[in-house]
Amino acid sequence: MSQKKDKQTVLRRHKMKKWMVFVIMTAICIPAGFAAFYLKPDIDKEVNVEEPAAGVEIVTVLSVEPQACGANISAFGEVVPRRRITVKSQVEGQVVFLSDRLETGSQVKKGELLVRVEQSAFQLQVAEAENRLAVAGINLMKEEREAKDAQTNWKQSGLQGEPASPLVLRVPQLTAARSEVKAAQAALQYARTMLLHTEIRAPFDAVVVRRNINQGQVLFAADEIATLFGTESVEISIHLDPGSWDLLPKNVRQAKVMVFDTGKPAGWQAAVVRKSYHLDGQSRLRTLILRVEHPMDLTPPLLPGTFVRAEITGRQVPHLLKIPQSALTKQGLVWFVDQADKLRKHHVDPLFYDNGFACIPVPTTTGKGPLRVAVFPNSSFVDGLAIQPLPQKEKSDAR
């Protein structure tokens, strides 16, 4: 009996433990459930994302204001030597000396001997001319002496008036003797000049572009010897339309000019030296001539034949809009955004371009104050289209 009572006591204690665990767990879970229910975040109230209306396109826009812009005139041209010459022979004879520097691509200095022609025949001509002059001088002195004697004899004769013939006083003979001296002097000068032409020298500092003769060759008058390009300076002719010409400063010689190689990143400073006073008959453009001094001494050298882009800093033009070139379509359209966030198109004619920007006149129908321009227009744009503008952080005058 006692064992049966002990078993029942153990069972009652076990059931009491289970009820106690259940009560404790219920006391913990019910408050936690209430807390989770009442403290749940209101997602609809916390998230406030503004989304565009259905079908409204987001467009990047840039705010711009009218400003004065320094005109930048750009044009292309070819570098040509200021002085270029095809050297020709002026005498006949065999080439007895040919400079080693008379080769294509070599540079020669002013006065440097390039070619010598056989001189003996020309030295003979000089000697003969000197002899002729000496003889003519002696004959002149004789005639002057005889003419003086003739004057004395005429006075001593006691005859009145003038002689019946000028030969009596030897006037024609004296004139002929003097003419012979002058002719002999001219002949000597010519002979000496031809002797000088047997030595062909560089007329200025130059680079040899082409050589046409060889050692031992017999030259004739007017035979081409070499083609030389001067290295002291080069010139670039650029052609400008009337609109670009009007953007130049009043004193065009004071304009800042840079020329850039179109084939590689290289630039050189140039100066305006001349301008044409007529329009080209075909292109109707006016020419401006630029010059670069000592092009071979620059780094890198500016070589003749280089095709370059000239950038000229012009005058300040007031009341322009400076917009990114990306805002200008191929059709010449710029899309503005009005106060109602609608697109408005305008046909524009840029006055000039400057470092990725286009400077355009302010459209008269856009109103006052800052204007908003669509930076990247696309083919879906139509006039009056409602858009959602997205401001761009860049400024239009950033470089």
pLDDT, tens only, 165-217: 888 888 999 999 999 999 999 999 999 999 999 999 999 999 999 999 999 99
Same domain flag for 202 and 249: no
**Residues 265, 249 contacting (CB under 8 angstroms):** no
Q: Which residue has the tokens 């032409």?
A: 197
Question: Residue 64 domain-assigned?
Answer: yes
When mean pLDDT is compared across 14-28, 59-73, 266-280, 333-347, the lowest value belongs to 14-28
CA dist list (Å): 56 to 178, 266, 343, 381: 106, 47, 12, 12
Q: Distance between CA 325 and CA 360 in Å, rounded?
A: 11
- For residue 316, how many other CB atoms are within 10 A of its CB? 11
Question: Residue 342 domain-assigned?
Answer: yes
Q: Which helix (H) or strand (E) holds 31?
A: helix 2-38
Q: Which amino acid would we find at residue 335?
A: W
Same domain flag for 104 and 151: yes
Same domain flag for 63 and 77: no
Q: Distance between CA 106 and CA 233 in Å, rounded?
A: 17
CA dist list (Å): 117 to 103, 193, 372: 18, 14, 77
* Bridge partner list, 226: 87, 211
Same domain flag for 119 and 212: yes
Q: Distance between CA 231 and CA 206 in Å, rounded?
A: 5
Question: Residue 396 domain-assigned?
Answer: no
pTM for this entry: 0.67
- Binning pLDDT at 50, 70 and 90, where does residue 112 land? very high
**Residues 184, 85 contacting (CB under 8 angstroms):** no
Question: Residue 398 domain-assigned?
Answer: no
Question: Residue 399 domain-assigned?
Answer: no
Question: Residue 272 domain-assigned?
Answer: yes
When mean pLDDT is compared across 26-35, 95-104, 107-116, 308-317, the lowest value belongs to 26-35
**Residues 257, 301 contacting (CB under 8 angstroms):** no
Same domain flag for 206 and 111: yes
Q: Which amino acid would we find at residue 320?
A: L
Same domain flag for 114 and 3: no
Which residue range forms the structural domain that includes residue 376? 57-72+317-391
Same domain flag for 196 and 110: yes
- Binning pLDDT at 50, 70 and 90, where does residue 342 land? very high
- Binning pLDDT at 50, 70 and 90, where does residue 247 land? very high
What confidence score (pLDDT) does residue 164 get? 81
Longest dimension (CA), the chain: 212
Question: Residue 271 domain-assigned?
Answer: yes
What confidence score (pLDDT) does residue 25 get? 64
169 against 104, higher pLDDT: 104
Q: Can you give the three-state secondary structure of 310-337, one letter per residue?
A: EEEEEEEEEEEEEEEHHHECCCCEEEEE
Three-state DSSP at 148 gives helix
- Binning pLDDT at 50, 70 and 90, where does residue 152 land? confident
What confidence score (pLDDT) does residue 264 get? 86
CATH number for 340: 2.40.420.20
- Binning pLDDT at 50, 70 and 90, where does residue 42 land? very low
Same domain flag for 100 and 3: no
Same domain flag for 237 and 150: no
Q: Spell out the residues 6+ positions from residue 379 whose beta carbon is closer than 8 angstroms to its own.
A: none
Q: Distance between CA 291 and CA 234 in Å, rounded?
A: 6
pLDDT of 43 higher than 70: no
**Residues 66, 319 contacting (CB under 8 angstroms):** yes
Q: Which of 268, 293, 315 is the last residue of a domain?
A: 315
Q: Distance between CA 200 and CA 90 in Å, rounded?
A: 9
What confidence score (pLDDT) does residue 397 get? 44
In the chain, how many domains are there? Answer: 4
Q: Which of 249, 281, 315 is the last residue of a domain?
A: 315
Three-state DSSP at 266 gives coil
Q: Which of 271, 287, 315 is the last residue of a domain?
A: 315
Average pLDDT in the 117-144 region?
Answer: 96
**Residues 236, 131 contacting (CB under 8 angstroms):** no
pLDDT of 45 higher than 80: no
CATH number for 270: 2.40.30.170
What confidence score (pLDDT) does residue 15 get? 60
CATH number for 107: 2.40.50.100
Same domain flag for 247 and 380: no
Per-residue pLDDT tens over the stretch 284-327: 999 999 999 999 999 999 999 999 999 999 999 998 999 999 99
Same domain flag for 68 and 13: no
Question: Residue 328 domain-assigned?
Answer: yes
Same domain flag for 106 and 216: yes
User: Long-range pairs for 246-255 at CB < 8 Å and ≥24 separation?
Assistant: 247/71, 247/73, 247/314, 247/315, 247/317, 247/351, 247/352, 248/71, 248/73, 248/288, 248/312, 248/314, 248/315, 249/314, 249/315, 250/315, 252/288, 255/312, 255/313, 255/314
Closest C-alpha among 268, 316, 310, 305 to residue 289: 310
pLDDT of 221 higher than 50: yes
